[in-house]
Structure 1
Amino acid sequence: MLGKPIIKDTRITVELILKKLSEGLTVEDIIEAYPHLTKEDILAALSYSADVISQEELIAS
């Protein structure tokens, strides 16, 4: 995964979850496609993403 954040105990990246959601898949669709994931896993990925974005610093040029 080359240092990308993943869902605990899987090889599924947070990036993949975000991409699938942006493509219009629902949480239920993702769970159906990846049955070892739970709703809590997907919500944790969203929470992690929000935390990362909220900690970014903007640098004005």
Structure 2
Amino acid sequence: MDLLQRISIDPAVRFGKPCVRGTRLTVGDVLGVLAAGRAEAELLLDFPQLTHEDVLACLAFAAEREKRLITSAAAV
């Protein structure tokens, strides 16, 4: 299964923010917890509905979104 298929965007769920499919946890929620320095194992204990593959899907989604960013020469 393609990791990105684990992420859904539904305007009726969390205002259309990308979420882990079948949950109300946003990609931003997952990445924020990891960025705060918490280990993936802790995240998975706190949210038993998540899997390792879901965490990888959040990272893959963020990586794909970053590739699409347009940067301005003036911003650099």
Distance 1:59 1:4 in 2: 25
Q: Decide which structure has the larger Cα Rg and report it.
A: 2
Structure 2: tracts of 5 or more residues without a match: 1-13
Q: Percent identity?
A: 33
| Deviation beyond 6 Å, 4+ runs, structure 1 | none
Aligned to 1:33: 46
TM-score by length of 2: 0.75
Aligned to 1:14: 27
Residue 58 of structure 1 deviates from its aligned partner by: 1.5
TM-score by length of 1: 0.92
Bigger relative contact order, structure 1 or 2 (CA pairs below 8 A, ≥6 apart): 2
The aligned length equals 61
Structure 1: tracts of 5 or more residues without a match: none
